A and B are shown apart, each in its own frame.
Chain A
């Protein structure tokens, strides 16, 4: 999905370039199966090498007791899968991935859209705002972890200082299981919101001005123009943002490792950190492979759901 946009751009340009004549020659060539194969094979080889083969390998090892080192492995069927799927701790990790998705779709995406609309409509310092919101994205997760570690600090952290100012009791943001996950979600949201704002902003700015002006002349208010003109036109991009958020939520790990190491007591573990903690660290690569296959399957299910529920409904817009 991420590669879709630039490829589309390329193909469009090339099609224009090859307009009349050239494409008929190519079409003739493509009827020759050997030439056809010549074009397909390189991509196919890469696809098999870096996707299909590792996937099959992961499935194979997930059915064994491989410890990552030994040459002797015992084939023990779906034992690893039943173990994971009956483990309460694993489901807790799945639930945390779910929180990531819900947080991105229902809190982050509205913030992104509203912020983008606001930035698109400011008259002065537009590039300053753009740079400011994009800043967190270019920072490394390790730096963000330390930065927010200070903000969440129990004694001297910004949040507790604010709470203290209003006379409220200090919260152990990263140490209390009730708040630790929320703290991570906020930090993760802070890190990536800017990136998506830039995407949505680009979509807003690419809408031809005359549409908006026409609506304005017809007497539409700013709110009406945003809801009836801008919003429908940026929906394809918002849908991509949702897709990227879901994919990001499924593979989240670094921010958790940096901020809480999955703790306290596993309350912020997601599937990826669960895999590291319970399988890889403990020399259980068979189990680790089973977890990774499960992550893959879950992601596939979500992608299909996304395609059916969201992507199909948002049509491509041509001006």
Chain B
């Protein structure tokens, strides 16, 4: 098996699994209970929180554990919109956000908020001069992802932060799911951060929203008031421990993994040049973990053929209608329908090898000849 779909999810790390199993027995108690076992679990949970905040470069982040980045995005965006709507009802996001951000903004539009969708240039980079024009006194939230999940485009959020300095009312949120543990970035410049555990070798249904202490949000899930009243429901301490450990490991291994992914990407891109009709959508400065490639045949058929040979990549092929098959991300780049509809995504991990890339190139070449 050649698994090149690591932007979709990753294999759970052995040591993360071990921590989880041990924690299931050691810290099974409800951390809201005031007895000895409960306090033990609470203490562990707070250690996990602190470790995560530290890994994101600022111990001032509150960590709210969630079921993943989708819930974290919902909580951050709706939480800010509802909490600060008296200050303004204008929100800014971009045209290339993940559906778990995009759909939340669509929903808020129906509730009377005004949303601006920032354009990107042909490299997938936010048009920052346009951002300056979109910002106004009514703006309360800017939500922009750090690394795009389809193309790996890396955004200059440091510049965004500088632009936002003139707008102290604006809260700055970023979904960093495809960035954390992969690229170097100073997360402390952000007000709110969403990320997911299963992209960094922890479990599905595990992630967190980080928020600076001075920022308030409205909760989505009400109940027993856990997590400072921001996300009710009994806390899953073992899962939180596993997440914290995966976060630490991802940070510690980031440099090595980056270099490794970069060598894989360079090898892949060089090899693709020899295959006729193929075009690489991702740029050299994009995250080396994600490579978007246009294939000159039907994208879904290419992916299916690869799958039959034990090579797993991603497309936008599951749906039947033409419109839904197309990538809105690549459309936003200004790519034509042919490219937006027939691109595949190769996404790497530390376990992938150069010989796997060679094998992929060999098989792809063959498939493109065989498919009509």
**B partners with A:** no
